[in-house]
Amino acid sequence: MVLGLHGFGNFSYAQDAQHGKAEEVVEGGDVHAEEPAATKKFDAKEVILGHVKDAHDWHLFSIGDAHATIPLPVIIYNPARGTSVFSSSAFEHGHAAHDGYRLVNAHYLHEKGLDPAKYMDGKIIAVDANDNPTGEEIYDFSMTKNITALILGAILLVVLMLSVAKAYKTRGSKKAPKGLQSLMEPVIIFMRDEVVKPNIPGKHAERYTPFILTIFFFILINNLLGLLPGAANVTGNLAVTSALAIISFIATMFSTNRHFWGHIFNPPVPFGVKFILAPVELIGVFTKPISLMIRLFANMLAGHIIILSIISLVFIFGSLNKVAGYGFLPITILFNMVMMLLELLVAFIQAFIFANLTAVFIGQAMEGGHEEHH
């Protein structure tokens, strides 16, 4: 096993030689000196997608071709070679292979003439001594940007909740809350009294309150962290929202009873309609968590893309004319202030909707038959 975590937590400033210099030209046996390449035009698509997608390093900011990043650990398991662990800085931003592995990027795909549909940009593949893909099956357990952000969000959630619990333990529940406790208590009480209890019946409400609160605060914290400059787009990642939806689905399935499944497979409709409605009801069991997944993912991703698009307008106009770029700057700042306030509101709304609908689905799964209500 190769251990190379020396670069973790340190800033690395790398310059892309492909952008700064032209390749050497050999003509008639003479080697010409390298000449500065033409200034690279601003690519809004590349910038926006680079900020919203996952990565093996944490990009903070760029000044020209100099990039400030935090390299993250790469953990690869190869059934033939075993496990390799090293820093992502060894890939030199996708321009070098390390320990028989390579980070795929557009330059590598073009250089080797590979199919982009087969080799995904940002994916790690096994390569031979000539830097060609070997086709070996590997398992990537790397600490990517989104995974690191998820861990930081989880740690922040635990610290917040433990500090509030400690305040109740030391001060008691009879005294007026202070500090962070006074900020968290109204939210916790609101979620318990207005979300959990109205939707989950009877004694089950108390049992499911910690679960619903955890979902709400976890999504909210990651939504808010995603609004910070240089932060990860965690809740705008489909893998993250799908994992949250699966957790919600499992909790709902464990809460079902015979009346729930009876309503699914034997709905209270005329006999001939049962054959049409029963499959629709069964499909609805699976479309509910899918709707949770897509709603959170689409709203958070769209917000990030809109903000980045508005910022990109300054550079697009600036590449055409410097006066136009500076003239559009005040408009961009104003639009972004409005969008950031809107995104702040959306961060709370989407966390609330996900938690509220999870409570609704759990409550529907627990509902008894009509005779029990009577």
**pLDDT higher than threshold 90 for residue 99:** no
Rounded Cα–Cα distance for residues 368 and 344 (Å): 39
Q: What's the residue count for the chain?
A: 374
pLDDT at 25 (0 to 100): 41
136: exposed, middle or buried (C-beta count within 10 Å: 0-12, 13-18, 19+)? Answer: middle
pLDDT digits over 179-238, tens only? 788 888 899 999 999 999 999 988 889 999 999 999 999 999 999 998 888 788 899 999
Q: Give me the percent of the chain exceeding a pLDDT of 90.
A: 33
Rounded Cα–Cα distance for residues 309 and 42 (Å): 12
Q: What 8-state DSSP symbol labels residue 1? A: -
pLDDT bin (cut points 50, 70, 90) of residue 40 is: low
Mean pLDDT of the chain: 82
pLDDT at 26 (0 to 100): 41
pLDDT digits over 281-340, tens only? 899 999 999 999 999 999 999 888 888 888 888 888 887 878 877 887 888 888 888 888
pLDDT at 136 (0 to 100): 87
pLDDT digits over 59-73, tens only? 777 776 677 788 899
343: exposed, middle or buried (C-beta count within 10 Å: 0-12, 13-18, 19+)? Answer: buried
CB 316 within 8 A of CB 329: no
CB 113 within 8 A of CB 125: no
Nearest to 251 by CA among 316, 180, 324, 199: 199
Adjacent-strand bridge partners of 36: 21
Phi, psi of 96 (to 5 degrees): -150, 150
Which residues contact residue 357 at a Cβ distance below 8 angstroms, ignoring those fewer than 6 apart? 288, 292
- Write down the pTM of the prediction: 0.81
pLDDT digits over 10-22, tens only? 333 333 333 344 4
pLDDT digits over 228-281, tens only? 887 888 999 999 999 999 999 999 999 988 888 988 888 888 888 888 998 998
Phi, psi of 150 (to 5 degrees): -65, -40
pLDDT at 12 (0 to 100): 37
Using only the alpha carbons of the chain, give its radius of gyration.
26
pLDDT at 200 (0 to 100): 92
By DSSP bridging, strand 2-4 and strand 82-87 are parallel
Task: Provide DSSP, 114-157.
Answer: --TTTS-TT-EEEB-TTS-B-----EE----HHHHHHHHHHHHH
**pLDDT higher than threshold 50 for residue 33:** no
